[in-house]
Amino acid sequence: MKNNTTYDAIVIGAGHAGVEAGLSLARLNKSVLLVTLSLDSISNMACNPNIGGTAKGHLVREIDALGGQMGITADEAVLQLRMLNLSKGAAVHSLRGQEDKIMYHLNMKKIVENEPNITILQGEVVNILTADDGSVCGVTTDMGNTYNTCTIVLCCGVYLNSDIIIGEWRKAEGPSGFSRATSLTESLISHGMTIRRFKTGTPARVDKKTIDFSKMTEQMGDKDIYPFSFINDKSKPCDVSCYLTYTNENTHQIIRDNIHRSPLYNGTIKSIGPRYCPSIEDKVMRFADKDRHQIFIEPESMFTDEMYVQGMSSSLPIDVQLEMYRSIAGMENVNIMRYAYAIEYDCIDSTELDSSLMVKNIKGLFTAGQINGSSGYEEAAAQGLIAGINASLYIDKKPPFILTRDKAYIGVLIDDLVTKGTNEPYRMMTARAEFRLNLRQENADIRLTVDGYELGLVSKDRYDRYLRKTELIELYINDILNKHVQITDLTDFFNSIGESIPSRSLSYKDMLKRATISADMIMSTFKELSELDVRVLREVETMIKYEGYLTKQDASIRELKKLEDRQIPSDTDYSIIEGLRLEAKQKLAKIAPLNLGQASRISGVSPADITVLMISLFKK
């Protein structure tokens, strides 16, 4: 039966990117067709059962501040919360939640189903249709249906022509036993896109009942920490434990004896895998001097006994897998329920995208998530949200929403992908954010709520929370913390913390400048502070402690801004600019940077090229 239906936008794929893209489009009043290969894979966490972690936690907070969904659902499905890097500065504190995968999937499915502007469809898109002018006009599915639209957000994850590889065994299928998409790659190639092949992998899932936890170290969560979403003041109760164990010399020997059977080492897998997500055989072979590697046992869900064995990703044959898993303390009798596997998949070259995540040569086609060569649920969700927002703006014929590197990790992520590209699955790291000190998870709302509100994704309630917080920050910094403390009160306080007593009276701000004095300490000591909002006060403390370094960073940001403010016309013909080196001409033409700042980050474009470009572009 032929079925012609028209939508404002079609989102292909309902993973972490697709769901955010679909929800943001729908919430911006666009009619959306959300097509997925299986309704049972909506927001499937195909690898680790957690959300957040270093830099990724920051992404979740930013998604949340902009009005995205991930943070809220992650708070609902949380099993354990930890704040990483607490011993370091506030900019790198990172929230990570162990998540109930099944609950996460079901809750997210429900949210998408309840979104009136979204029509959900199980099926495989086999063709992207374009009009005579090259812009998107619709899709066809494997069952022969055609759907019309001017905007597509492609979020097909690792499903394009994916192969599961375990030892000598290879199967044409997607992750977690779901079927793969076989025709879309050809459609993309026919539209002139470059296709590359990446690889990633996942460890085995083992039966909880067959693990001896007494031989492992229990890892409990942290108490009293703020959850992902800014609209939740408190986390729901969550105290499920993880367990730590280690590989040993025996494990390593098993791997070395069988390395010739590893597809990574015998040449079966030629695609590029991520360095930050090495398989256990990679770790053992590349870091031969390490006598053990950490292994964390993490719960997948309260609805199953499957446990995730973090650190043991592998593509060795199943007999080797069983032997090496069973060589680990506490897993001597373990029963593997799903074997570890490597997966190869098609993805695009992200430098073919512009900063709004639209394919430069195909108007109306946006892409987000692993198809862009990134990895990780949070990276995918962040791109999905931005692609959805920009697809909506595209429909409304409005300028795109582009976050800069100094404003958000999301800005760093997308700028890296579209400007520098990536040669391996791209993972967000705090080291990639040169303005890291400003991009804290605790000020993501300060940085982004206004944007989300103006776009129309942030509710009035959330916006009011933001206003209250900024008012309090203002009040604390400019008023309350400027109060000076009597020297007698100071004496008691400094005695109690065992530090030498200052010779003159200090303001609260002066005290917070010291590394050894925290917001919590002064709040519990000085009565007039006891009623303050502790979360806001801690944020203010961070601002005070970082002040000198933030000033340094602001100077770099201003220099960047000066370049970013210089827009480059999209019709610039680099080939005729005199003085540009050939390599620079080619790179600039390919990336088509929006401004001089972006141009300066392209590899192969030198500072001298930028000067030449600047002069030739900004003639009066």
Partner 1 sequence: MYKTFAAIATPLGAGAISIVRLSGPNALCIASKVFTSSKLNTFSNAIPNVMYLGTIFCDGFNDKCLAVYFKGPHSFTGDDVVEFQCHGGVRLTSEVLKTLLSNGASIASRGEFTRTAFLNGKLSLSEAEGIVEMINSENIASLNAGYRMMSGHLNKSITEINKIILDITASLEASLDYPEEMEDEVRENLESSLKSIDSAVSKILSTAQLGRIINNGINVAIIGEPNIGKSSLLNAILGKDRAIVTDIAGTTRDTLEERVEYNGVFINFIDTAGIRSTIDTIEKIGVDKAFESAKSCDIVVMMMNASTPVSSIEKDILSKFDNKLIIKLYNKSDIAVLDHCVDGITISARDKTGIESLLAKISSMFISGDVDLSGDILTNFRHIDSLIRANTSIKSAIIGANNCVPSECILIDLRDCYLALGEITGATASEDIIDKIFSKFCLGK
State the residues that interact with partner 1 by CB under 8 A: 48, 54-55, 84-85, 87-89, 91-92, 94, 274-278, 283, 286-287, 290, 293-294, 310-311, 313, 420, 429-432, 434, 436-437, 515, 546, 549, 552-553, 555, 558-559, 562, 578-579, 603, 608, 611-612, 614-615, 618-620
Query: From CA 248, how far away is CA 600, in angstroms rounded?
Result: 47
CB of 379 to partner 1, least distance (A): 14
Q: How far is the CB of 244 from partner 1 (least distance, A)?
A: 9
327: number of CA atoms within 13 Å, CB side?
18
Beta carbon nearer to partner 1, 468 or 552? 552
Query: By CB neighbour count within 10 A (0-12 exposed, 13-18 middle, 19+ buried), where does 170 fall?
Result: middle
**Closest to partner 1 by CB, 247 or 367:** 247
285, 241 Cβ separation under 8 angstroms: no
Give the separation between CA 382 and CA 385, rounded to whole angstroms. 5
Q: Which is nearer to partner 1, 142 or 434 (CB)?
A: 434
Burial (CB count within 10 angstroms: exposed 0-12, middle 13-18, buried 19+), residue 578: exposed
Identify the three-state secondary structure at position 430: helix
> Minimum Å distance from CB 437 to partner 1?
6
Considering beta carbons, is residue 287 or 303 the nearer one to partner 1? 287
Scored b (16 or more CB within 10 A) or e, 204-224 reads bbbebebbeeeebeeeebeee
Nearest distance, CB of residue 494 and partner 1, angstroms:
18
Q: What's CA 277's distance to the chain center, in Å?
A: 15
Q: How far apart are CA 267 and CA 572, in angstroms?
A: 44
Q: What are phi and psi of 182, to 5 degrees?
A: -110, -15
Q: What is the dihedral of CA 562, 565, 568, 570, to 10 degrees?
A: 150
Long-range contacts of residues 415-418, Cβ cutoff 8 Å, at least 24 apart: 415/355, 415/598, 415/601, 417/350, 417/351, 417/353, 417/372, 417/373, 417/374, 417/383, 418/350, 418/351, 418/353, 418/354, 418/355, 418/357, 418/591
Using the minimum distance from each CB to partner 1, give the nearer residue, 40 or 565.
565
Nearest distance, CB of residue 77 and partner 1, angstroms: 20
Q: How far is the CB of 33 from partner 1 (least distance, A)?
A: 35
Residue 302 or 431 with smaller CB distance to partner 1: 431
Characterize the bridge pairing of strands 9-12 and 152-154.
parallel
Report CA torsion sign: 41, 47, 50, 55.
negative
In angstroms, give the least distance from the CB of 133 to partner 1: 36
| Residue carrying the six token digits 């890296």 | 416
User: Exposed, middle or buried: residue 237 (CB in 10 Å: 0-12, 13-18, 19+)?
Assistant: exposed
Question: Closest approach of Cβ 349 to partner 1, in Å?
Answer: 17
Instruction: Report the candidate in 382, 257, 262, 248 with the shortest Cα–Cα distance to residue 313.
Output: 262
Smallest distance, partner 1 to C-beta of residue 358, A: 25
Which residue lies nearer to partner 1 by CB, 58 or 109? 58
- Closer by beta carbon to partner 1, 489 or else 559: 559
Q: How far is CA 497 from CA 407, 442, 505, in A?
A: 37, 27, 17
All residues at 6 or more sequence positions from 66 whose CB lies less than 8 Å from its CB, including other chains: 385, 389, 448, 449, 451, 452, 455, 457, 458
> Taking phi first (over 0 means left), then psi (-120 to 50 degrees means alpha), and beta for anything else, what does residue 549 get?
alpha
Q: Minimum distance from CB of 593 to partner 1 (Å)?
A: 17
User: Is the Cβ of residue 215 or residue 562 nearer to partner 1 in the bound state?
Assistant: 562
Q: In 224-337, where does DSSP find H-type helix?
A: 249-257, 280-286, 318-325
Tokens of 102: 């099944």
Q: Identify which of residues 460 and 620 has a Cβ nearer to partner 1 in the complex.
A: 620
Nearer to partner 1, 72 or 280 (CB): 280
CB nearer partner 1, residue 465 or residue 566:
566
Q: Nearer to partner 1 by C-beta: 114 or 516?
A: 516
Is 264:286 a contact under the CB 8 Å cutoff? Answer: no
Residue 588 beta carbon to partner 1: minimum distance, rounded to whole angstroms: 16
Q: Shortest approach of partner 1 to residue 398 CB, angstroms? A: 30
Report in angstroms how near the CB of residue 393 gets to partner 1 at its nearest. 29
Within 8 A by CB and 6+ apart from 461, the residues are 231
